[in-house]
């Protein structure tokens, strides 16, 4: 455990001893009054790597040079462009390369995976999810249940935290699985909840849901590139992620999926098929019968959106160089520093004017969270948020009273966190 001291000299010391400090210079920062903003919203849209333009430009050049022949003659042939990403994605997700592929957008992928892995019967049709899940996920799950003829209010088991609590207790999740073991068809959770920042115990939850006879999937929108994952070893059945949050791959950037190796050769899984999911050996022979490629690739529908994938590649190269383990080590310290500062502000508030504390609703245990802390601001929340934004500290606001702060280890510093704390203290 690091002992954190809420001072500028402590923060600058931490920065000068940070082996990843140089990565900050690889990104463009929005400017305010001629200075870089303090950017704490990498959980919404990651910053642009300076190399993104080069990689996208390279594909534009090859398109200009080759036209259609770029499918085979571009420097990275477009025919197989998706394949140059799988190893790097796999290492971020704790997967094997054949278990992942990048394609489509996130909600599209969630639907495609539910088509294959949510196969309800009259008696086993329920979907277990979080109560405070992201709206797009909620609509996707509701419409999947309706699509199969079920009433979503009945089919969805939406788990709420206990009275007065925000995070879900693993034991409560396991109990809900046990209670619904005869009707549970699929468990679908955000691996890291977008609102509370809670990182679930995927290993235990997955085992329990499998024992109950359910399929198990996760939405990794807030987990990919944020927390260390071992999807293969945890025996997760399926997952989808987006690339524009922690993975810095451009607004609306191409998403991706994980499907466990155990399904790699299973041609009987029902799926909505497209030509790009066909075995690449015969894809251009245009067979009349779909022959699924091996692994996650068989879920692809369309030819690769190369410009978007080039942007993803730029970021994945940076992740490979930095390494998920080193990023996670720094992330733990950076978020720990933020937490310590907020706790100190609370102590001062309480002893001085008996004001309500800023409530950190993200779990305290570093193993149960990523970089984001979610703060319930019972007093002056919106005002504090606006003042921070005006001062060039970019954070986000969720109605009615939550500020989410995400110090990202790739490009945030301990000094960023110190500056945030100093201003927050003044404002409350
Ligand atoms: C960001 C996010 C989305 C957004 O979905 P898109 O299809 O990319 O627009 C969906 N679900 C979760 C959990 C998210 O965090």
Residue range 261-312, pLDDT digits in tens: 999 999 999 999 999 999 999 988 888 999 999 999 999 999 999 999 999 9
Ligand 1: which of 194, 374, 396 to mutate, most ligand atoms within 8 Å of CB? 194
Q: H-helix or E-strand containing 190?
A: strand 184-190
pLDDT band at 30 (very low <50, low <70, confident <90, very high): very high
Predicted local confidence at residue 426, as pLDDT: 92
Task: Kindly state whether residues 289 and 395 are assigned to the same domain.
Answer: no
Residue 44 belongs to a domain: no
Domain end point (choices 258, 290, 321) = 321
- The token duo for 329 is 């080590």
Statement: residue 1 has pLDDT above 60: no
pLDDT score of 354 more than 80: no
Answer for the pair 417, 338: CB distance below 8 angstroms, yes or no: yes
Closest atom, ligand 1, to C-alpha of 110: 7
Local structure of residue 357 (DSSP, 8 states): P
Residue 257 lies in a domain: yes
Residue 25 in this model has a pLDDT that exceeds 80: yes
- The CATH number of the domain holding residue 415 is 3.90.1150.10
Q: What is the number of the ligand 1 atom nearest to the C-alpha of 133?
A: 13
For range 134-146, the mean pLDDT: 98
Query: Is 47 part of any domain?
Result: no
The CATH number of whichever domain residue 98 belongs to comes to: 3.40.640.10
* Most informative mutation of 137, 138, 246 for ligand 1 (most atoms within 8 A of CB): 137
Q: Is the pLDDT of residue 194 over 90?
A: yes
Q: What are phi and psi of 64, to 5 degrees?
A: -65, -40
First to last CA, the chain: 28
- Assign 2 a pLDDT band (cuts: 50, 70, 90): low
| Residue 207 lies inside a defined structural domain of this protein | yes
Whose C-alpha lies nearest to ligand 1, atom 15?
221
**Shared domain check, 267 and 384:** no
Give 128's strand partners.
157, 187
Residues contacting residue 154 through CB under 8 Å, at least 6 positions apart = none
Residue nearest to atom 14 of ligand 1 (CA): 221
* Ligand 1 contact, 221 CB (< 6 A): yes
110 and 158 assigned to the same domain: yes
Q: What is the pLDDT of residue 34?
A: 95
Ligand 1: centre distance to CA 134 (Å): 7
Dist. CA 243 → ligand 1 center (Å):
10
Q: Give the predicted TM-score (pTM) of the model.
A: 0.97
CA of 230 to the centre of ligand 1 (A): 21
Evaluate whether 200 touches 191 at the Cβ level (below 8 Å): yes
Answer whether residue 86 is part of any domain: yes
**Ligand 1: which atom is nearest the Cα of residue 222?**
15
CB of residue 105 inside a 6 A radius of ligand 1: yes
Counted domains in the chain: 2
Domain co-membership, 240 together with 150: yes
> What distance in Å separates the CA atoms of residue 207 and residue 70, rounded to the nearest whole number?
45
Burial classification of residue 15, based on how many CB atoms lie within 10 Å of its CB (0-12 exposed, 13-18 middle, 19 or more buried)? middle
Distance, CA of 347 to chain centre:
33
Q: Tell me: pLDDT of 158 over 80.
A: yes
With a cut of 90, say whether residue 205 has pLDDT above it: yes
pLDDT tens string 105-130:
999 999 999 999 999 999 999 999 99
Q: CA-to-CA distance for 65 and 74, rounded, in angstroms?
A: 9
Q: How far is the CA of 107 from the centre of ligand 1 (A)?
A: 6
Ligand 1, closest atom to CA 245?
A: 1
**Boundaries of domain holding 20:** 8-36+324-427
Per the domain annotation, does 41 fall within a domain? no
Question: Are 315 and 329 contained in the same domain?
Answer: no
- Whether 310 and 335 map to the same domain: the answer is no
| Shared domain check, 401 and 279 | no
Residues 172 and 136 in one domain: yes
Q: Considering 277, 306, 321, which residue would you say is the last residue of a domain? A: 321
3-state percent breakdown (helix, strand, coil) of the chain, nearest 5: 45, 15, 40
Percent of the chain exceeding pLDDT 90 equals: 94
From 291, 321, 351, the end of a domain falls on: 321
C-beta of 136 in contact with ligand 1 (< 6 A): yes
294 part of a folded domain: yes
Whether 270 and 370 map to the same domain: the answer is: no
pLDDT beyond 70 at 100: yes
- Whether 256 has a pLDDT exceeding 80, the answer reads yes
229 and 328 inside one domain:
no
Q: Which residue has the least CA distance to atom 10 on ligand 1?
A: 136
**252 CA to centre of ligand 1 in angstroms:** 10
Residue 387: pLDDT over 90: yes
Q: How far does residue 241's CA lie from ligand 1's centre (Å)?
A: 8
- pLDDT above 60 (res 227): yes
Q: Clarify whether residues 131 and 244 are in a common domain.
A: yes
Under a CB-based contact definition with an 8 Å cutoff, are residues 222 and 86 in contact?
Answer: no
Nearest alpha carbon, ligand 1 atom 13:
134
The per-residue pLDDT for 48 is 98
Buried b (16+ CB within 10 A) or exposed e, 153-165: eebbbebebeeee
For the residues 44-57, what does the mean pLDDT come to? 98
Residue 215: beta bridge partners?
Answer: 186
Q: From the CB of 194, is ligand 1 less than 6 Å away?
A: yes
Average pLDDT of the residues in 234-261? 98
Separation of alpha carbons 360 and 354, rounded Å? 18
Query: Mean pLDDT in the chain?
Result: 96
Whether 157 and 214 share a structural domain: yes
Digit-coded pLDDT (tens) for 54-74: 999 999 999 999 999 999 999
Ligand 1 mean position, distance from CA 41 (Å): 15
Asked whether residue 381 is assigned to any structural domain, the reply reads yes
| Residue 401 pLDDT greater than 70, yes or no | yes
pLDDT of residue 146: 98
């Amino acid at each position: 455990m690091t002992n954190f001291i809420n001072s500028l000299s402590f923060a600058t010391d931490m920065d000068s001893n940070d082996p990843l400090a140089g990565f900050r210079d690889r990104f463009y920062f929005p400017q305010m009054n001629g200075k870089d903003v303090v950017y704490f919203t990498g959980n919404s849209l990651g910053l642009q790597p300076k190399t993104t333009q080069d990689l996208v430009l390279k594909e534009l050049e090859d398109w200009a040079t080759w036209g259609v022949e770029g499918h085979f003659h571009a420097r990275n042939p477009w025919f197989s462009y998706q394949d140059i990403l799988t190893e790097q994605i796999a290492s971020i997700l704790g997967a094997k390369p054949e278990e992942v592929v990048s394609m489509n957008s996130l909600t599209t992928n969630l639907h495609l995976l539910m088509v294959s892995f949510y196969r309800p019967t009259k008696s086993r049709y329920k979907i277990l999810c979080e109560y405070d899940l992201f709206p797009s996920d909620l609509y996707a799950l509701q419409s999947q249940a309706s699509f199969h003829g079920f009433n979503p209010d009945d089919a969805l088991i939406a788990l709420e935290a206990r009275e007065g609590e925000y995070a879900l207790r693993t034991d409560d999740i396991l109990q809900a699985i046990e209670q619904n073991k005869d009707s549970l068809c699929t468990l679908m959770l955000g691996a890291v909840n977008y609102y509370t920042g809670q990182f679930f115990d995927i290993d235990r939850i997955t085992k329990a849901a499998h024992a109950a006879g359910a399929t198990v999937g996760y939405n990794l929108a807030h987990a990919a590139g944020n927390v260390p994952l071992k999807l293969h070893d945890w025996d997760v059945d399926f997952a989808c992620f987006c690339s524009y949050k922690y993975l810095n791959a451009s607004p609306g950037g191409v998403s991706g999926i994980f499907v466990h190796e155990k399904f790699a050769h299973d041609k009987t899984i029902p799926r909505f098929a497209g030509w790009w999911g066909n075995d690449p050996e015969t894809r251009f022979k245009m067979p009349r019968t779909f022959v699924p490629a091996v692994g996650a690739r068989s879920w692809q529908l369309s030819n690769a959106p190369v410009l978007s994938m080039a942007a993803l590649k730029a970021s994945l190269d940076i992740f490979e160089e930095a390494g998920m383990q080193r990023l996670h080590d720094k992330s733990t310290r950076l978020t720990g520093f933020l937490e310590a500062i907020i706790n100190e502000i609370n102590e001062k508030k309480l002893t001085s004017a008996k004001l309500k504390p800023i409530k950190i609703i993200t779990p305290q245990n570093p193993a149960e969270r990523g970089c984001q802390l979610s703060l319930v601001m019972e007093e002056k929340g919106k005002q504090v948020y606006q003042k921070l934004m005006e001062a060039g500290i970019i954070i986000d606001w969720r109605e009615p009273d939550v500020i989410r702060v995400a110090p990202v280890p790739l490009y945030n510093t301990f000094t960023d966190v110190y500056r945030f704390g100093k201003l927050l203290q003044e404002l409350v």
